[in-house]
Amino acid sequence: MRLFLLLVFIIVTSSYSQNKQLLYDFKELPQSLMLNPGADVSNYKFHFGVPLLSHIHINAGVSGLSAYDLFADDGRSFNEKVREVLFDLSRNDVYTANQQLEVFSGGFRPKNFQDKRYFSFGMYQEIDIHVYHPKDPAELAYEGNGGANINRVYDFGDLDLSGEMLTVFHFGFNKQLNDKLTYGFRGKVYSSIFDMRSTNNDALFYTQPGERNFYRHILIADVTVNSSGYADLRDIESEDTEDGSRQVLSKFRNRALLGGNLGLGFDVGLTYQHSEQLSFTGSIQDVGFIRHNKDVENYTVNDAESLEGVELLFPGIDGAEEDDDFWQDLLADLDERFSPDTTSTAYTSWRPMKLNGSMRYDFGKKKDKDCNCSAEKGDYLNAIGVQLFAIKRPRLPQFALTGFYYRRLSDFLRLKGTYTIDKFTAYNVGLGMSMHFGTFNVYLMGDNLLAYRDLSKARALSLQLGFNFVFPTTDNPFTE
């Protein structure tokens, strides 16, 4: 039980969704190409990221709950707090975790950097965990089916979780078609390291007044858990030696490098420059799937039973025969029927598809001190706009709406502030900055800054940072 709680909390405290509102449409950063392959990178000659350090992304959060709610040192009974939290959360509250690490990345403009096309490529590792609050099973475990809960239908379909670790190899194509339109496409090969999901469960348990006895208990279960990359590890881990952990790492390395279950996917996106100041962007990421056929272990229960209790027939009466073990056998049979069957049938998992859109208005040209006139085309110091993000999740897509202000303080420093409303919080203020030392670039972004006043009350936090080298087409980087 404690272990379960700890596990929930590790997920809760190290987790969140995948919105990167600070990075999106941040044209100076090559990682904006990962969110929109059709991003405007017209002044990139070539770029490469510092290996393992070009993009580190961690998101942490949970909807409807913070560590403070449970662990505040306020003298209240812990069980009381658990009860409050359990009963406050809805079945659509989520615990989600997302982490990404770019292993390597780069990009270039072919034909001696003169082409209208820009190619980019790389490899990154990702962990994505998404768990809906198992409301009914948790409440059943907490208070049982007795008392006021007779007749309550417990929906075990509330069990809905997915977790995966994978690496992604990608190659992107970006083309500036004309002054107005830039579009792009990115092909992806997914290399799954570990996958576990149980998202289409249909199961009910309820207790109603019986006809011949106090109660009738009804259990209907159609539950499936799919996993890949797990069975193999379990065999190793049981040894629990240094050699064992070396074997795990070796397996991970092999699977990360296309040695495990593979999948395919793509991103598409575009930027439309409506006027000199007004632009629109849109992109779809991770339209793709992974086919799991190696090291698959699935667990299924599919059965139904309705029972009023143990009926005695009294041997001899009405022809009943002596069978003392009848009920013992029946219970054993029930146990067997509702225990998971293990299969190794291949399955397909879909990546969580993401949608981005933005509208951006640039304004405030840089004044040229020498001639007291405005600078050339496109040389705007400010931008405001709105962005929309959506991610497909098993039950409903999750949305986030962001308003942003972008400011170029100098050639050296650019800032972006965001205000985001989403499932996790309605007061999400984020700040991102990008620093440019010649061609060397460092960026650091964090959201939910207001939560830093008291981290224990935070429901979601995210952090992204990275180091790149970006070589622009003009001498003056990114002033266009």
Binding positions for another protein, rule: CB under 8 A: 1-2, 5-6, 9, 67-68, 70-73, 77-79, 81-82, 140-147, 150, 207, 210, 212-217, 307-318, 324-328, 331, 409-410, 412-413, 431, 433, 435, 444, 446, 449, 451-457, 463
Which C-beta is closer to another protein: that of 19 or that of 182? 19
Which C-beta is closer to another protein: that of 250 or that of 339? 339
- Comparing CA positions, the residue from 455, 376, 379, 462 lying closest to residue 418 is 462
Which C-beta is closer to another protein: that of 82 or that of 359? 82
Residues 6+ apart with CB under 8 A from 233: 194, 248, 251
**113-142 CB burial, b ≥16 within 10 A, e <16:** eeeeebbbebbbbbbbbbbbbbbbbbbbee
Least Å distance, CB 323 to another protein, is: 9
Q: How far apart are CA 48 and CA 32, in angstroms?
A: 13
- Reading the block at residue 143, the tokens are 């208070």
Q: How far apart are CA 472 and CA 189, in angstroms?
A: 29
- Comparing CA positions, the residue from 347, 355, 480, 420 lying closest to residue 28 is 480
Least Å distance, CB 114 to another protein, is: 34
Please give the angle made by the CA atoms of 332, 334 and 337, to the nearest 5 degrees: 110
Identity (one letter) of the amino acid at 137? P
Which C-beta is closer to another protein: that of 111 or that of 453? 453
Least Å distance, CB 18 to another protein, is: 20
Least Å distance, CB 437 to another protein, is: 11
Least Å distance, CB 328 to another protein, is: 4
Which C-beta is closer to another protein: that of 239 or that of 323? 323
- Would you give the distance in Å from CA 460 to the centre of its chain? 13
Least Å distance, CB 211 to another protein, is: 10
- Would you give the distance in Å from CA 437 to the centre of its chain? 33
Identity (one letter) of the amino acid at 121? F
Which C-beta is closer to another protein: that of 353 or that of 431? 431
Least Å distance, CB 452 to another protein, is: 4
Report the chain's terminal Cα–Cα distance, integer Å. Answer: 59
Which C-beta is closer to another protein: that of 257 or that of 304? 304
- In contact, 462 and 62? CB cutoff 8 Å: no
Least Å distance, CB 73 to another protein, is: 4
Which C-beta is closer to another protein: that of 260 or that of 430? 430
